[in-house]
Amino acid sequence: MNNFSDVYFALRRKNKSQYALLFGCLFFSVLLITAYCLMMRSPTVMNTLPEGGDSRKQVMMIFVLSVIGCGAFTLYAAGLFFRHKSREIGIFLALGASKQTLVRKLRREVGGIALLACSLGMALGTPLSWLVWGVFRLTLIDTPEMALLFDLRAYGISAAFSVFVILTLLLMLSRFLGRTNILDIVSESHRAEPVRSVPRYYGIVGIALMTVGALLGYFTPSFCVKVLHWYAPDGLTAVFHLPTLIGLYMLLLHTVVNGWRRGRSRYPHLIATGMMQFQGKQTVRNMLVITVLIAGAYFAAFYVPMLVTPAQLGMKSRPEDYSFFFRADQNLLTQSQSEIEQMATKNGATVSDYMQQPSATLAVDGYEDVETTGKIGTTYTVEYREILASSRFLSESAWNALTGGNLNLAPGTVAAVFNSEGNSGGFISKDITLVTNPVTGQSLYVKSVEPVLKNDLLFKCRVLDDSDYAAITAGLTDEWQERQVLFNAENDNYTFAKELFHEIVARSGPEVELCDGYDRIIRARYIENGTDYFLEPENAQKFGSPIIDYNQPDSSVFRQYWLYMPQFRVLDQADFTTNMAVFLLLFVFVAILCFTAVGVILFVRSMTLVLINAWVYQDLRKLGASDQYLRKTARGQISRVFLAPIVTGTLLILGFYTLILLGNGEGGITGYEWAGLGNCLIVVAAISAALYGLYRQTLRSSYTQLGIGVKS
Amino acid sequence: MLNVSNLNKSYQIGKTKYEALKGVSLDVEKGEFVAVMGPSGSGKTTLLNCISCYIPSDSGEIQLGGTDLAKLPEAAIAKVRNEKLGFVFQDFLLLDGLTVRDNIMLPRIIGGQVSASMEQTADRLCEVFGIAHIKNKYPADISGGEKQRTAVARALINSPELILADEPTGNLDSKSSRAVINSFLQAKQELCATIFMVTHDSFAASFCDRVVILQDGAVRRMLSRGEVSRRAFQDELLNVISEMSEVSGQ
């Protein structure tokens, strides 16, 4: 041993587990963030997830949670490293080493570790994303759209995270060595971090605050929009989630410091509770991170059951197998019933219950939100428009023919068609008073009747009395009229459905190569106002709206967003997962990353917790504690690290999800949504089982580390 | 050698200010073995930590060989700690990742004075303190007494002007305590070391040339052993401590 570097090297070799822990935590955090960024910014995902859509917002929200979680995890790892390192640094200082020398050495050492870990994390993030996505494609779904492309700009985000990690480490190092009291540095590694006494009401108040925060956080944005007519900035409304975080902190603090047991039942857990208290601050911080990550992970994991279950149930309960409509000016008029029947026969199916009825697109009145951007953001005023938007209308006899009903509307009345669960989904108002023929300009005053009609295949249509329908549609040109076709098929099969779908696309003209939501009445108003209509095909790039291309009829964008997309049960059921593959697997990917982070943090935190307290176990053994008692004590510690954040995070997200469904729906949670929630519970059960497995494994590892005989 | 004059130190805990040292003054001559005794909270360890410059004092002077330590910049203090002071702590403060021999050489390595003589000195100190047979072992593999003798050897490797020892026998059994005290006596006799030791232990203090008794942050008594036997000096120490306890009502 010839110089200080040799000493340093010898110590590093001896304490390699601490270096490995720091390296591993930094590497894992950067790896996870890089993989997430690459996926989130991948053209594969960006081209599929609509801009400004909920899916993108959800992915971004979970990303923010992951960054917070990983950031806190790296801080924890760094803090732990410096705690371990403090003893030898203190001894060096006590023996006369200069601070400058130590700062130089440590900065080089910690900086080197951080740089290597971050670089490796960034480098391996790409193969990790590619590998996980590849496994998905190999084992679950593979579509041409799933070909994974990477955007190099994604590395910018993970590089920024890495810079944050490195700078934070160096800052912590400066603070660590900036202290003047050498004895503080020497004793740092043995110093406990007890949380001051916490009143028992913290538990209940914490739960109350979490509930209030969840309600405030969820309802404040809609309150701002609906009552104040103000699109409040996201940053401002996010403040209303703060009570949730404060409540969560109070709840975890109470759980760690006081525990939920009272009276004599707390005695068997006294040691575990005591040890937890002396690691209080770090433990609570870690639990907070795990709770937030668990919530984010479940939020991602629930996406699949909540999307798939209602959609599949909806498809299954459609009254007819086949439904499509087309504009009367299209050459699909030549697509007669016999042509469809011949196509069915060729494919081994038989058409039955064939129905074709006319419909018309007319203008309806309503209220428009006129937006103004000012100092406080965007506000809007509501202005009545006699001609607001277009709507498809059926006569009552057409409705009866298509549905087998016996509707008899009084003249001057109109009935809106909601979906089979009685929801409008915000797509159709039941309160119109004026209908206008867009060609002749003739108007008809109507009164909306209730209850609304329900039908998934004719959803968003309106029904008029026969005489009113005849009068108001008089003079309509073909481009404003449609034909609605419904039929069933015996021996129904995918080949027939797909051939028919492709035939419909092939016969459709460029004037109907439009995306869902395209409205000629609204477009006319935009043009009148001299502004670009955001759903105009030529404006798609500019506004990020879906691009409909007849050359790609099987793309998920086409299937999801074509204005005239047919609803063929067998086709939709078979292709649902394919059409939604990128959506579904992106969220599965995100959930896997978040749950992996949760698992790693739980394991690392539990192991460090028992190892920091290893001397207590030795003392307990000297006092005569049996292996059984020591096992129970270790279990008491580890179960608290696992149980409190997992249960809290899971309940929090289940509650929040239910709140979202309640807030979105018009008549509470629908049957399909309940079914979706049921499947979410199955996901919770599966994940909980996996986490329980990890808990058992962690317990076994801790017994081994503490030298406690494992129960056979 | 060491002159401490009118040293004051206080701690602020919450809104309360505790005066740990109140105008402490004392001298230690070269080659002298001096102990500081006193009840818990009397300011013994604070005094030692101020002399070591581990914690800053509020006012007063600490002169080592004519240099006022309190006025030195950080880098110069580090040099003094490395070259002029040797430290022995209650919990040894050995580095677990280094062998006994490496731990002993650590102050030289830190000071950049690496030479062949360093290893020879370390080996000689191992011989002197009876730890040669464990010099290649790690701290985890040796007894408490051996650890403390290693710490004494480490404190002496740079031939410091003054050895500062904080409760060096506090964590040891009587046999190991005796071995450590013997190490100090050997260092004094064979290496002409000056030793300033804080202790609770009247047995350990009874080997010293002089004992300073602190109470409530101030020097209350100073006892010189003179020519009396160790046992008689220990009895005297116990009597004085007992009297002081009675006066203060403890």
Q: For residues A130 and A567, what is the distance between their CA atoms, to the nearest angstrom?
A: 34
Residues within 8 A of B (CB atoms), A 156-215 only: 180-183, 186
SS3 string, A183-223, reads: HHHHHHHHCCCCCCCCCCHHHHHHHHHHHHHHHHHHHHHHH
Q: Looking at chain A, how many residues does it have? A: 712
Burial B100-139 (b: 16+ CB within 10 A, else e): bbbbbbbbbbbbeebeeebeebbebbbebbebeebbeebb
Q: For residues A112 and A421, what is the distance between their CA atoms, to the nearest angstrom?
A: 60
Substitution target from B51, B54, B161, B171 for chain A, most A beta carbons within 10 A = B54
Substitution target from A11, A95, A101 for chain B, most B beta carbons within 10 A = A95
Q: What are phi and psi of A663, to 5 degrees?
A: -70, -35
Q: Test A96 with B112 for CB contact under 8 angstroms.
A: no
Residue B33 in tokens: 């073995």
Nearest CA in chain A to B115: A2
CB A490 within 8 A of CB A340: no
Q: Test B110 with A100 for CB contact under 8 angstroms.
A: no
Predicted model pTM:
0.74
Nearest CA in chain B to A98: B78
Residues paired with residue B11 on neighbouring β-strands, in sequence order: B18
| pLDDT tens digit sequence for B170-202 | 877 888 788 889 888 988 888 788 999 999 889
CB-nearest partner of B98 from A7, A94, A99:
A7
B105 near A CB under 8 A: yes
Q: Test B80 with A96 for CB contact under 8 angstroms.
A: yes
| pLDDT tens digit sequence for B112-151 | 877 878 889 999 889 888 899 999 998 888 988 899 889 9
Between strands A350-374 and A377-395, the pairing is antiparallel
CB A420 within 8 A of CB A456: yes
A615 near B CB under 8 A: no
| pLDDT tens digit sequence for B76-109 | 888 888 888 998 888 888 888 888 998 899 888 8
CB A420 within 8 A of CB A453: no
Q: Which residues of A touch B54 (CB under 8 A)?
A: 94, 181-183
Contacts of A172 (CB under 8 A, 6+ apart): A75, A78, A79, A82
Q: Test B98 with A94 for CB contact under 8 angstroms.
A: no
- Residue A163's CB is within 10 A of a number of other CB atoms, namely 12
Q: Which residues of B touch A5 (CB under 8 A)?
A: none
Q: Test B56 with A94 for CB contact under 8 angstroms.
A: no
Q: For residues B42 and B44, what is the distance between their CA atoms, to the nearest angstrom?
A: 6
Q: Which residues of A touch B110 (CB under 8 A)?
A: 4, 7, 92, 95-97
Q: What's the confidence (pLDDT) of residue A189?
A: 58
Query: Max alpha carbon distance in chain A (Å)?
Result: 105
| pLDDT tens digit sequence for B8-56 | 999 887 778 889 999 999 999 999 999 999 888 899 989 998 998 888 8
Give the dihedral sign, CA B224/B229/B230/B231.
Answer: negative
Q: What's the confidence (pLDDT) of residue A711?
A: 46
Q: What's the confidence (pLDDT) of residue A712?
A: 38
Give me the percent of chain B exceeding a pLDDT of 70: 98
Q: What's the confidence (pLDDT) of residue B134?
A: 93
CB A26 within 8 A of CB A113: yes
Q: Test B107 with A95 for CB contact under 8 angstroms.
A: yes
Residue B52 in tokens: 């070591």
Residues paired with residue B63 on neighbouring β-strands, in sequence order: B3, B68
Q: Computed over its alpha carbons, how large is the radius of gyration of chain A?
A: 32
Q: Which residues of B touch A4 (CB under 8 A)?
A: 109-110, 112
Query: A-B interface: how many C-beta pairs under 8 angstroms?
Result: 86
Q: Where are the alpha helices (DSSP H) in A227-279?
A: 234-238, 242-257, 270-277
Residues within 8 A of B (CB atoms), A 97-136 only: 97-100
Contacts of A456 (CB under 8 A, 6+ apart): A314, A317, A318, A319, A419, A420, A567
Q: Computed over its alpha carbons, how large is the radius of gyration of chain B?
A: 18
Q: Test B96 with A90 for CB contact under 8 angstroms.
A: no
Substitution target from B48, B74, B80, B95 for chain A, most A beta carbons within 10 A = B95
Q: What's the confidence (pLDDT) of residue A439?
A: 95
Q: What is the mean pLDDT of each run of 10 residues along chain A (712 residues)?
A: 79 85 91 90 80 79 86 85 84 86 87 93 91 84 78 89 90 81 66 64 91 86 86 82 88 78 59 62 81 91 91 90 92 73 93 93 92 84 92 95 92 92 81 94 93 90 95 94 94 93 93 94 93 90 86 89 94 87 86 90 84 77 78 85 90 86 75 91 96 94 81 42
Residue B50 in tokens: 């101020």
Between strands B218-224 and B210-215, the pairing is antiparallel
Residues within 8 A of A (CB atoms), B 131-190 only: 154
Measuring CA to CA, which residue among A423, A312, A304 is closest to residue A669?
A423
CB-nearest partner of B82 from A11, A13, A95:
A95
Q: For residues A633 and A275, what is the distance between their CA atoms, to the nearest angstrom?
A: 10
Q: What's the confidence (pLDDT) of residue A543?
A: 84
Contacts of A148 (CB under 8 A, 6+ apart): A42, A44, A129, A130, A133, A134
Q: What's the confidence (pLDDT) of residue A272?
A: 63
Residue B177 in tokens: 């305590």
Domains of chain B are 31-55+71-247 (3.40.50.300)
Q: For residues A461 and A428, what is the distance between their CA atoms, to the nearest angstrom?
A: 8
Q: What's the confidence (pLDDT) of residue B106?
A: 87
